[in-house]
Amino acid sequence: MNKNSKKLITADDPGWYKDAVIYQLHIRSFFDSNNNGIGDINGVTAKLGYLESLGVTAVWLLPFYPSPLKDDGYDIADYYGIHPDYGTLNDFKRFLREAHLRGMKVITELVLNHTSDRHEWFQKSRNAPKGSPWRDYYVWSDTPDKYNGVRIIFQDFETSNWSWDPVAKAYFWHRFYSHQPDLNFDNPQVRKEMFKVIDYWMEMGVDGMRLDAVPYLLERDGTNCENLPETYDFLRQLRSHLDKKFKNRMLLAEANQWPEDAVAYFGKGDICHMAFNFPLMPRMFMALQMEDWFPIVDIYEQIPPIPEECQWAIFLRNHDELTLEMVTDEERDYMYKVYAHDHTARINLGIRRRLAPLLNNSRRRIEILSLLLFSLPGTPVIYYGDEIGMGDNYYLGDRNGVRTPMQWTGDRNAGFSTANPQKIFLPVIIDPDYHYHSINTENQEKSLSSLLWWIRRIIAMRKQHKAFSRGGIKFLHCENQAVLAFVRRFRG
């Protein structure tokens, strides 16, 4: 067992998330224990030893709830269950127990903003008469002209934030796909339901929750329906409820916003413990390509200070597109030009590629960005497979190209499953440069010069110095624009 992880994160440390190294994985993509072609919870449990040897101290699981899986599980049909493809509630409780025995925290998803249109609440809502309590669970309108001018987030797939429902004979509001109706957070009953959901999983032993799409919880005429004061008020209530009932738990805000708006999700230390640093992420890629420290230093100068007990989560890649919403139009054009000249790699306002292909499989470039990930202020989040330089397949549609099976060995189906290859939920990567025969954990375990071993050493180095996880940062001015230099300092 990795002694560092035990020493670094203890059960009684309320700030455990500051020192964490978070590993993000999709249960479906990680390891198939029953060989039906789909990864499952028991598969993740079986691979906890691998995560521990990597130096991971917290595992973030993408949604595993019952769902039609039209949006990879973010379209939830039941907040209290486990999708049968992934296993049972007992499997999940065993996973929690095993992770905790290894000193690892478990972070799950709470998709607050919307449900699937298959959810029992939506079915009751669309069949209920106007003005009734059930109708009030979602946002309905007789006209699609309400909240005009609000941006469409999935602009490659949707033409409006309203969709007509023939059963309700009314329009329902959705900030994402039209099969994901938005819940009505002006309804106190909806808020109570969300408190019950968070209680259910926290009582089971979950350590933290990523709050999906939090800027869009409420709607008001004459606004862009993002970052509203009422949204912060609700999240403050949620945090207060959590703190009263549970000890040392964490809320992580997914708020893809400009720095001054993103910082508001910390409140005065009374809203979320953590938030993703979306403005920083694309600028790390820009700085690398331009060979210029300016994009990184410039964005840090725009980020207001955050409360002492709060922490940024920083990342290079994740399960979505490399989002370019928080850059200027000129910067977006530059990023497309240098990182996605093939238009097929673009989606919505972003690029659907993994880390290694974005960087043309250059080991040095992967190392430079990884060093920034592990040394800039914040808690690093590693996306599964990036520690071995996995490739992608953006011809699979939507963001599925970065969600393919983890590559464990050079055997059939990359060691992910022994099922018939036609049964695998997504095809494994066979691009010659990233083929699972050569890019897999088994090969890299054997070679001390591999990317996997290099990442292990960097994580171990980070854990030795609290300055990386809790210290301040001071950038040093360099005459040479290609040199980024900074000092991290913690208590002298």
Query: Residues 244, 247, 252, CA angle at the centre, nearest 5°?
Result: 90
140 forms beta bridges with 172
Task: Give catalytic residue positions.
Answer: 212, 254
Using alpha carbons, select from 199, 195, 209, 178 the residue that is nearest to residue 114: 178
